[in-house]
Amino acid sequence: MNSPIKDLLDNNQIKIPKHIAIICDGNGRWAKKKGFPRAFGHKAGTKPIEDITKNCYELGVKTLTFYVFSTENWSRSDKEVTFLMKLFIEFFIKLRNEAGENIKVKHIGITENLSLELIDEIKKTENLTENNSGMVLNIALNYGSRSEIINATKNIMNSIGIGNLNIDEINEELISNYMFTAGVPDVDLIIRTSGEMRISNFLLWQSAKASLWFTEDYWPDFKYDHLKEAIKYYNEADSKFL
């Protein structure tokens, strides 16, 4: 195998996180540094998403989540938002063509304010990949953790209201099952690029026990070596609690 991930796979001391969640940050600054418009950085940022997805799949990661657009990101300029939405349409089309038989693509977040065209491409991609069992790839787009918790709370209340659920049945597992991430393991490792050390309303419930790894590098420069460092950090952090 010539794959770059061979070193990690060959090391049987290394524990591969079941769920890695990545805050892909710094696209705009990456472009600015090169004297290009922000859009250029967003476009460049799709490449590491593809590459890291392949690496994680080969490593045996069960769930990989990318945060690509937050509910707060609507406050950006119309020009930038329009560009991003077009990019997401192309991105979902590409994903379903390249997901093969192994990657199940799922959108997490709300569809409110998304164009019908984008919603349609998301649905097509989800439908086409829904029976794939190798890895779940969550795309957090128009996602916000607090809005997810509000949504879950309303659905729980509704289930109680119609008599399908008893208050005594509410526990951690049940709440997890009312989240957009129902059915996937909790987050083990959160990665954020570009030197910002914030959570930005990302998977607050699911990452209660996650390790956090940060890099100064911008998202378009993210490579397998960064992933490897993050996984090593996760192993060190994890072993302290054994």
Stretch of 52-60, 151-159, 168-176, 191-199 contacting ligand IPE, by CB under 6 A: 191-199
Would you give the DSSP letter of residue 16? P
- Residue (of 150, 153, 73) closest to 113 by Cα position: 73
Task: Reply yes or no on whether 73 is catalytic.
Answer: yes
Amino acid identity at 202: F
121 binds, among Mg ion, ligand IPE, none (CB under 5 to 8 A by kind): none
Q: Does 24 bind Mg ion (CB under 5 A)?
A: no
Residue from the set 25, 121, 148, 188 that interacts with Mg ion by CB under 5 A: 25
DSSP secondary structure letters along 79-97: HHHHHHHHHHHHHHHHHHH
Task: Give dist(CA 136, CA 103) in Å, integer.
Answer: 6
Closest-CB residue for ligand IPE?
28
- Residue (of 123, 100, 108) closest to 50 by Cα position: 100
Residue 21 token pair: 């969640």
Name the residue nearer to ligand IPE (CB basis): 91 or 178.
Answer: 91
- Report 14-53 residues binding ligand IPE (CB under 6 A): 23-29
* Strand, helix or coil for residue 19: strand
Q: How far is the CB of 14 from ligand IPE (least distance, A)?
A: 27
Name the residue nearer to ligand IPE (CB basis): 176 or 200.
Answer: 200
Which residues have a catalytic role annotated?
A: 25, 73
